Amino acid sequence: MAEVALAEIGKRYADGTRAVESLSLQVADGEFLVLVGPSGCGKSTALRMIAGLEDISEGTLHIGDRVVNSVPSRDRDVAMVFQSYALYPHLDVFDNIGFGLRLRGMRRDDIASRVNRVAATLGLTEHLRRRPGSLSGGQRQRVAMGRAMVREPAVYLMDEPLSNLDAKLRVQMRAEIARITRRTGVTTIYVTHDQTEAMTLGDRVAVMRKGVLQQVAVPQELYDNP
């Protein structure tokens, strides 16, 4: 587990767009922080900078006790869950979940025991030999979660992971994400434009607008002072 600390982080894209302005934010070890705000406010950019998928233009990013500004994504001990799932269509569920571990050269039986454990947590045990194309939206989302979980990272980064699901499934998966992250106690930063999702999931909620952090509060404070 690890704390994540952003100190005056800024992002200017090559075309001059200032997507994030002087963002300072501390996420405690084991905390579930939701970054919420309207489309285009810079949430994904902020998350992608933490993930190491986007260069940081200004400021300092700590993960644990390390400054990671110039540390490549794979060495940051973070795992990202995307809204598009990004599953490999030609691999079955087992291989999709285990793929990242195989790249890292982990032994086959270690991979198998990790994948089986994660699959059990996510209710995927029956589906390990199926390919993504034959799975439901909720099952695909679970595989995407499994790919992050199997790495046992210090930090989960989730970018609108439920936005491709219908309303009913979204509520169900929301509960599942809450259950899993509480149980594992892994620090989580979760991006959404959905205020209900933010209020339901967050230990604290960080509200962004036009690249600027407006406020950070526990959900109850936001209900009381919207």
45 binds ligand ADP (CB under 6 A): yes
Tell me which of 5, 19, 61, 68 binds ligand ADP, using CB under 6 A.
19
Tell me which of 10, 30, 59, 100 binds ligand ADP, using CB under 6 A.
100
Three-class SS string for 162-190? Answer: CCCCCHHHHHHHHHHHHHHHHHHCCEEEE
Nearer to ligand ADP (CB atom), residue 102 or residue 182: 102
**Contact (CB, 8 A) for 146 and 97:** yes
User: Measured at the alpha carbon of residue 95, what is the angle toward residues 179 and 155, in degrees to the nearest 5?
Assistant: 40
39 binds ligand ADP (CB under 6 A): yes
**Contact (CB, 8 A) for 77 and 2:** yes
* Residues from 63 through 92 that contact ligand ADP (CB under 6 A): 88
With a CB cutoff of 8 Å and minimum separation 6, the contacts of 100 are 147, 150, 151
41 binds ligand ADP (CB under 6 A): yes
HSE-up of 138 (CA within 13 Å, CB side)? 15
Tell me which of 9, 43, 135, 176 binds ligand ADP, using CB under 6 A.
43
Min CB(215)–ligand ADP separation in Å: 16
Tell me which of 10, 40, 59, 64 binds ligand ADP, using CB under 6 A.
40
DSSP bridge pairs for 66: 63
Task: Give the binding site for ligand ADP (CB under 6 A).
Answer: 13, 15, 17, 19, 37, 39-45, 88, 99-100, 103, 147
